[in-house]
Structure 1
Amino acid sequence: MKLNYFKVTPKIINFKTHKLSRIFKQSGTKSAWGLDINECFIRVVKIIQVSNELLIDNISIIEIPQLKTETNISQSTHIKEAVQTFFTRYCIHKDDKVVVSVPGQSVLSRFISIPPVEKKQVKGIVSYEARQQIPFDLKDIVWDYQQLTEKTTNLNSIEIGLFASKRATLEQLLVNISPLESKLYAIQAAPLAIYNLVCFDQQIIGLTVIINSETDNTDLIIIDGQHFWLRSIPASQVDADLVKEIQRSMEYYKSLLKEAAHFQTILLMGSKFKELDNVKCITDAFACEVKIFKALHNLKLSGDVDSAFFNENILHFAPAFGLALQGIGLGRIKINLLPQELIRIAEIAKKKPYALASLGCLALSFMFQYSGLYTGTIHLQNSEAHYQKVLQNIKELEGNYKHAEALAQTSKAELGLISSIDSSRFIWPEVLDKLLSLIPNNVSLGDIQSFWIDEDAVVLSGQTLPGEAQPKKATTPTKPDATKKLLLMGIKGESLEPGMRFIEEHVLKPIQNLTLFDQKVAAFKNVEIVPVRLARWRTKMARGTA
Structure 2
Amino acid sequence: MAAASDAIWAVDLGNTSLKALHLVAVGDVVQVIGFDHIPHGKILSGSKVSAAERDELIAITLRQFVQRNDVSYDPLIVSVPSQNSFARFVTLPPVEQKRLPEIVKFEAAQQIPFDMSEVQWDFQMMTEPDSPEQKVGIFAIKNEVVEAEMEHFEREDLQVSYVQIAPMALYNYLLFDRPELVNSDTRATVIVNVGAESTDLVVCTKSGVWQRCILMGGNAFTQAIAETFRLSPEKAEKLKRTAPVSKYARQIFQAMRPVFTDWASEVQRSLGFYTSSNPDVKLTRVIAMGGGTKLRGLLKYLGQTLQIPVEKPEAFKKAMIAQGLSSAKFHENVADFGVVYGLGLQGLGMARIESNLLPTSVARSMAWANKTKYFIGAAVMLLIVCLMVLGRVGLDRVSFARNESTRAMNNRVAAQAEDARKVKDDYEMQKSEFQAKLVAQFAQFQHREVVPSLYDMLLSALPNAENTPDQRDLFLAYDRGDAATVRSIPRPKRKQLIVTHISTYFSDDLATAQFGQTATMRKDAMMRDTQLAAEGDESGAYGDSALMAEMMAIYGDRFMGQFGTTSTEEEKSPGFIVSILGYSPYENVGALVDPPGVRDNPARWGFVTRIANLDKIVGPDCPFELFSKEAGHFRFEHATVEWETVPLGIGEVEIIPESTDATSRTTAGRAPAMMGMTGTQGIEILVDPVTRERIDAEPILDAEGKPRVDLLGKPQLIKHDSWFQLDFKLKWKNAPKTTTDTGSAGAMGMPY
Q: TM-score, normalised by structure 2?
A: 0.44
**Cα offset, 1:212, TM superposition:** 0.9
Residues 117 and 353 of structure 1: CA distance in aligned 2, closer, same or farther (over 3 Å):
farther
2:63 to 84, 91, 115: 84
Please give the alpha-carbon distance, in whole angstroms, between the structure 2 residues aligned to 1:180 and 1:273: 31
**Cα offset, 1:123, TM superposition:** 2.8
Moved more, 358-367 or 186-195: 358-367
1:354 to 374, 380, 383: 374
Deviations 1:316-350 (A, max 9, x none): 11111111222222121112111111112222333
- Aligned positions, number: 354
Residue identity matched to 1:200: F
Percent identity of equivalent pairs: 27
Q: Is the 8 A contact 1:107 1:163 kept in 2?
A: yes
Alignment of 1:148-227 (within 5 A): 148-152=126-130, 155=132, 157-179=133-155, 182-202=158-178, 203-204=180-181, 206-227=187-208
Q: Is the 8 A contact 1:111 1:159 kept in 2?
A: yes
Please give the alpha-carbon distance, in whole angstroms, between the structure 1 residues aligned to 2:27 and 2:134: 37
Alignment of 1:102-121 (within 5 A): 102-121=80-99
Please give the alpha-carbon distance, in whole angstroms, between the structure 2 residues aligned to 1:233 and 1:69: 19
Q: 1:273: which partner in 2?
A: 293
Check if 1:255 corresponds to 2:236. Answer: no
1:63 to 14, 29, 39: 39
Please give the alpha-carbon distance, in whole angstroms, between the structure 2 residues aligned to 1:50 and 1:289: 32
Please give the alpha-carbon distance, in whole angstroms, between the structure 2 residues aligned to 1:275 and 1:182: 34
Please give the alpha-carbon distance, in whole angstroms, between the structure 2 residues aligned to 1:336 and 1:118: 24
Q: Is the 8 A contact 1:58 1:304 kept in 2?
A: no
Please give the alpha-carbon distance, in whole angstroms, between the structure 1 residues aligned to 2:96 and 2:397: 56
Q: 1:229: which partner in 2?
A: 210
Residue identity matched to 2:87: S
Deviations 1:423-463 (A, max 9, x none): xxxxxxxxxxxxxxxxxxxxxxxxxxxxxxxxxxxxxxxxx
Residues 381 and 139 of structure 1: CA distance in aligned 2, closer, same or farther (over 3 Å):
farther
Residue identity matched to 2:271: M
- Where does structure 1 lack aligned partners over 5 or more consecutive residues? 1-26, 384-546
Residues 109 and 52 of structure 1: CA distance in aligned 2, closer, same or farther (over 3 Å):
closer
Residues 264 and 49 of structure 1: CA distance in aligned 2, closer, same or farther (over 3 Å):
closer
Deviations 1:8-61 (A, max 9, x none): xxxxxxxxxxxxxxxxxxx99822111110232101111123577522122221
Residues 182 and 362 of structure 1: CA distance in aligned 2, closer, same or farther (over 3 Å):
farther
Q: 1:310: which partner in 2?
A: 330
Q: 1:246: which partner in 2?
A: 267
Please give the alpha-carbon distance, in whole angstroms, between the structure 2 residues aligned to 1:143 and 1:374: 59
Please give the alpha-carbon distance, in whole angstroms, between the structure 1 residues aligned to 2:366 and 2:93: 33
Please give the alpha-carbon distance, in whole angstroms, between the structure 2 residues aligned to 1:70 and 1:268: 30
Residues 243 and 300 of structure 1: CA distance in aligned 2, closer, same or farther (over 3 Å):
same
Residue identity matched to 1:104: S
Q: Is the 8 A contact 2:40 2:58 kept in 1?
A: yes
Residue identity matched to 1:197: Y
Deviations 1:56-88 (A, max 9, x none): 122221111227645644311111121122112
Q: 1:525: which partner in 2?
A: none
**Cα offset, 1:352, TM superposition:** 3.3
Please give the alpha-carbon distance, in whole angstroms, between the structure 2 residues aligned to 1:185 and 1:344: 11
Please give the alpha-carbon distance, in whole angstroms, between the structure 1 residues aligned to 2:28 and 2:189: 30
Please give the alpha-carbon distance, in whole angstroms, between the structure 1 residues aligned to 2:285 and 2:27: 34
**Cα offset, 1:218, TM superposition:** 0.7
Residue identity matched to 2:78: V
Moved more, 194-203 or 229-238: 229-238
2:357 to 327, 337, 348: 337
Helix, strand or coil: the match of 1:184? coil
Residues 93 and 118 of structure 1: CA distance in aligned 2, closer, same or farther (over 3 Å):
farther
Q: 1:297: which partner in 2?
A: 317
- Where does structure 2 lack aligned partners over 5 or more consecutive residues? 221-258, 404-752
Q: 1:532: which partner in 2?
A: none
Helix, strand or coil: the match of 1:175? helix
**Cα offset, 1:103, TM superposition:** 0.3
Please give the alpha-carbon distance, in whole angstroms, between the structure 1 residues aligned to 2:77 and 2:157: 11
Please give the alpha-carbon distance, in whole angstroms, between the structure 2 residues aligned to 1:241 and 1:200: 33
Alignment of 1:502-513 (within 5 A): none
Please give the alpha-carbon distance, in whole angstroms, between the structure 2 residues aligned to 1:52 and 1:112: 31
Moved more, 79-88 or 115-124: 115-124
Residues 122 and 70 of structure 1: CA distance in aligned 2, closer, same or farther (over 3 Å):
same
Helix, strand or coil: the match of 2:267? helix
Deviations 1:173-215 (A, max 9, x none): 1111115655322111111111111111124164321111111
RMSD: 3.0
Please give the alpha-carbon distance, in whole angstroms, between the structure 2 residues aligned to 1:51 and 1:258: 39
Q: Is the 8 A contact 2:5 2:75 kept in 1?
A: no
Q: 2:344: which partner in 1?
A: 324
Please give the alpha-carbon distance, in whole angstroms, between the structure 2 residues aligned to 1:229 and 1:356: 47
Residue identity matched to 2:151: V
Q: TM-score, normalised by structure 1?
A: 0.59
Q: Is the 8 A contact 2:170 2:338 kept in 1?
A: yes
Residues 118 and 360 of structure 1: CA distance in aligned 2, closer, same or farther (over 3 Å):
farther
Please give the alpha-carbon distance, in whole angstroms, between the structure 1 residues aligned to 2:34 and 2:20: 7
Q: Is the 8 A contact 1:197 1:321 kept in 2?
A: yes
Q: Is the 8 A contact 1:218 1:235 kept in 2?
A: yes
Deviations 1:96-145 (A, max 9, x none): 12111100111012333334445544333333433333232333221111
Deviations 1:462-511 (A, max 9, x none): xxxxxxxxxxxxxxxxxxxxxxxxxxxxxxxxxxxxxxxxxxxxxxxxxx
Please give the alpha-carbon distance, in whole angstroms, between the structure 2 residues aligned to 1:133 and 1:70: 37
**Cα offset, 1:265, TM superposition:** 1.2
Q: Is the 8 A contact 1:29 1:50 kept in 2?
A: no
Please give the alpha-carbon distance, in whole angstroms, between the structure 2 residues aligned to 1:272 and 1:74: 24
Larger radius of gyration: 1
**Cα offset, 1:361, TM superposition:** 3.5
Residue identity matched to 1:254: T
Deviations 1:353-373 (A, max 9, x none): 333333334334444444455
Please give the alpha-carbon distance, in whole angstroms, between the structure 2 residues aligned to 1:29 and 1:132: 34
Residues 69 and 115 of structure 1: CA distance in aligned 2, closer, same or farther (over 3 Å):
closer
Please give the alpha-carbon distance, in whole angstroms, between the structure 2 residues aligned to 1:180 and 1:332: 31
**Cα offset, 1:381, TM superposition:** 11
Q: 1:132: which partner in 2?
A: 110
1:264 to 279, 284, 287: 284
Helix, strand or coil: the match of 1:183? coil
Residue identity matched to 2:161: Y
Please give the alpha-carbon distance, in whole angstroms, between the structure 2 residues aligned to 1:83 and 1:275: 27
Q: 1:521: which partner in 2?
A: none
Moved more, 305-314 or 130-139: 130-139
Helix, strand or coil: the match of 1:75? helix
Helix, strand or coil: the match of 1:177? helix
Helix, strand or coil: the match of 1:329? coil
